[in-house]
């Protein structure tokens, strides 16, 4: 069992060093440490061993598992470092990509479209303040003084 664990460890460490991308590294991790991985199947078979050998083999398996996890972390860091290397000359004075500008809210855009449609039909679009008084709300819109909309309960 120990020989099997050590050969699996050497195979796993060489596969980790051979991984060329994060996806390859994740595949190696799943192959050896995953739910149906090689090390997991070895750990599941520990129950069939005699108690003395089980203790020693279990400690070795946990040590190997920690070594593989540490090697995976180190390789992931080295892959990130390798990917951030920029080939060629780099000119810092070149302007970057301009940020995308915002857009109008859909309701605001619809109001503009409706105003354009009424202008094209010959209407005049009247705008006023959000807070208004009787002169702007009724007099300028030609509501007669006795109009029902001018009643205090309807305004």
3-state secondary structure 115-154: HHHHHHCCCCCCCCCCCCCHHHHHHCCCCCCCCHHHCCCC
Show pLDDT as tens, one digit a residue, over the chain (155 residues).
778 888 888 888 898 888 888 888 888 888 888 888 888 887 788 778 888 888 888 888 889 889 988 999 999 988 888 776 666 777 888 888 888 888 999 999 999 999 999 999 999 988 767 777 888 888 888 999 889 888 877 65
In contact, 28 and 19? CB cutoff 8 Å = yes
């Amino acid at each position: 069992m120990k020989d099997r664990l050590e050969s699996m460890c050497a195979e796993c460490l060489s596969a980790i060093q051979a991984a060329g991308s994060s996806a390859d590294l994740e595949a190696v991790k799943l192959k050896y440490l995953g739910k149906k991985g090689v090390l997991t199947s070895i750990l599941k078979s520990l129950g069939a061993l005699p108690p003395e050998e089980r203790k020693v083999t279990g400690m070795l398996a946990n040590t190997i598992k920690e070594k593989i996890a540490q090697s995976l972390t180190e390789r992931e860091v080295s892959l990130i470092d390798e990917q951030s290397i920029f080939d060629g000359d780099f000119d810092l004075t070149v302007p970057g990509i301009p940020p995308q500008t915002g857009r109008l809210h859909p309701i605001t855009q619809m109001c503009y479209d409706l105003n354009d449609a009424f202008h094209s039909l010959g209407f005049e679009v009247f705008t006023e303040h959000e807070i208004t008084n009787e002169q702007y709300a009724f007099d300028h819109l030609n509501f007669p003084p006795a109009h029902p909309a001018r009643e205090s309960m309807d305004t």
